[in-house]
Structure 1
């Protein structure tokens, strides 16, 4: 079913004095058959405003466009809930020999330990097995960073609480049209309209479309240090992104990693290189990303997925 959004400028006046205006605003709609007055009320609800006296919309256009997660819109009425009913959505990149995940890091190598042909000498006729060896860095595919990745005294993969990795309430921020090449950093203001306490915050930037290509490592969106601190203070337990890094890896960033430093220092897990986040609704999914319990290891691939009601 098609999603619809309203594009408009607005001016809002308040019963107790004062005005608020905005230009180039976009708002998710439950359908194309919504009146201007109803859009005004959805705008007030989305912004969480009180004592509104009047709402004026200018240049209103209703266009067919994917939803981005506006508050106060009945997403089920727009078809998300029905289309996603009883589904498991895979959010992981596939790992294969030679896969380039992070520019400059080695690709995985997969070799046989026991071929099916060789196994015929060991097992009963018609009973064949294959056993293989994979050599790879932990930062391969879609992976999770534990605090040990950043801090020598932080919990390693074996020290993570499964309750903070399995079946988490997911708050998905669809931000593909919320950043530009000149403003790549995701700031607190972009995240402040949701209750993220106890949730996995998943940042859908659309950058996964470049995965496996040279473009993936250049000019990617990222979470600012201020954004990371806001999520910590707001009670998030995990933050994931569909880009090359949760931090800015550009040369002019000077090698600083404020998002990693803050999030992992606070015990908030980081999942990088997610994919397919556009298939998730803004709220309502359950997110899982559990790595093997490896001692003395800080990062490892996960099979990240979301369960939709």
Structure 2
């Protein structure tokens, strides 16, 4: 697994006064830092940039602590520079017997031509293996096309590659933003960025349970309101490292799938290793085979980080 770059955040309380009257107060605020050796004044400037404030006349930072912690995408603070030219694999490997979604068939791999049998067909010293894999499209890390949800929707072969390859990634690191009592990721958690044309990737940490019985119970998901917000924001892809983009424990309704796929937004489920991807600056690729009359298939999803980020 790729090791994320070393990053730091500031934890503090604050009070802000405005030149034209009024004020703003915050408790337990957390803010990304471009480097750890910043003082209160510099952090105050970053806070103003992050909140988009104007006419600030006075600011007090209290209880400041600098903590080694992954960035969450604060405005005004560039993420610590990762290793140049990194390619970060975000896919679960597929193997015979892999349980992706409990209750669905597991992959079966059988030989069509063994290396031993091939030796009689080719020149001396030349041999090949040809294998057959039988699996449901919902295996490993996979992409949903509109046809998955809608009979008249576009199938995998109809998808525009420009919307699947090298798409700007906006990663929301949400591991501390949901709980067993509040599993839904709503619009308010996604509202602080310009997301037009991006791949929004939801890092919940749930992929650590992949392949275990715990993966199927209590998983975080995107709410109906969150899905509507992303469509209105003009995103191209929404990915999650959880069991499903929807809440599978609330009955048969699937509002996130319905809203996103109706709008032509690609859905990628069962991602992994999202903690290694910076909140901003990476590019995301998840392209399935061009299969006609098919709506879901595994992808080799990955993020790339340019040398300039």
User: TM-score per shorter chain, which class?
Assistant: over 0.9
Number of aligned residue pairs? 302
Residue 304 of structure 1: aligned partner = 301
1:28-39 superposed matches below 5 A: 28-39=32-43
2:291 match: secondary structure: coil
- Range with bigger deviation, 277-286 or 54-63: 54-63
Alignment pair present for 1:24 and 2:28: yes
Q: Which residue among 6, 17, 20 is the counterpart of 1:2?
A: 6
* TM-superposed deviation, 1:134: 0.4
- How big is the shift at 1:47? 1.2
Q: Does 1:228 align with 2:232?
A: no
Counterpart of 1:158 in structure 2 is 157
> How do 1:211-226 and structure 2 match up within 5 A?
211-226=210-225
**Per the alignment, in what secondary structure is the counterpart of residue 285 of structure 1?**
strand
TM-score, normalisation: structure 2: 0.95
TM-fit CA distance, 1:54 = 2.1
Q: Of the candidates 263, 268, 286, which is equivalent to residue 265 of structure 2?
A: 268
Distance, in Å, in 2 between the alignment partners of 1:292 and 1:87 is 24
Q: Report the Cα offset of residue 152 of structure 1.
A: 0.4
Between the aligned partners of 1:200 and 1:98, the Cα distance in structure 2 is 30
Structure 1, gaps ≥5 residues long: none
Match of 2:64 in 1: 60
Measured on the aligned residues, the alpha-carbon RMSD in Å equals 1.2
Give yes or no for the alignment of 1:187 onto 2:191.
no
Structure-2 separation of matches of 1:165 and 1:65: 30
How far apart in 1 are the matches of 2:116 and 2:257?
Answer: 46
The answer on 1:256 being equivalent to 2:246 is: no
Q: Partners in 2 of 1:90 and 1:2 — Cα distance? A: 19
CA deviation after TM superposition for structure 1 residue 200, in Å: 0.7
Distance, in Å, in 2 between the alignment partners of 1:63 and 1:169 is: 28
> What are the within-5 Å matches in structure 2 for residues 97-246 of structure 1?
97-246=96-245
Give the SS at the match of 1:118: helix
Cα distance in structure 2, aligned partners of 1:226 and 1:209: 26
Paired residue for 1:283? 280
Task: Provide structure 2 residue ranges, at least 5 long, that are not aligned to the other structure.
Answer: none
Q: Which residue in the other structure is 1:42 paired with?
A: 46
Q: Does 1:13 align with 2:10?
A: no
Q: How much does 1:130 deviate?
A: 0.4
Tell me the SS of whatever aligns to 2:284: strand
1:31 CA displacement: 2.0
**Hey, what's the Cα distance between the residues in 1 that align with 2:83 and 2:196?**
24
The separation in 2 between residues aligned to 1:149 and 1:110, in whole angstroms, is 24
Q: Which runs of 4+ in 1 moved over 3 A?
A: none
CA displacement, residues 104-142 of structure 1 (integer Å, 9 cap, x when unaligned): 111101010110001112112111110000000000000
Secondary structure of 2:281's match?
coil
Q: Distance in 1 between matches of 2:242 and 2:103?
A: 16
Q: Distance in 2 between matches of 1:140 and 1:278?
A: 22
| TM-score normalised to structure 1 length | 0.95
1:297 Cα shift?
0.5
For 1:268 and 1:118, locate their aligned partners in 2 and report how far apart those are by CA, in whole Å: 46
How far is the alpha carbon of 1:183 from its aligned partner?
1.4
My pick for the range that moved more, 49-58 or 27-36, is: 49-58
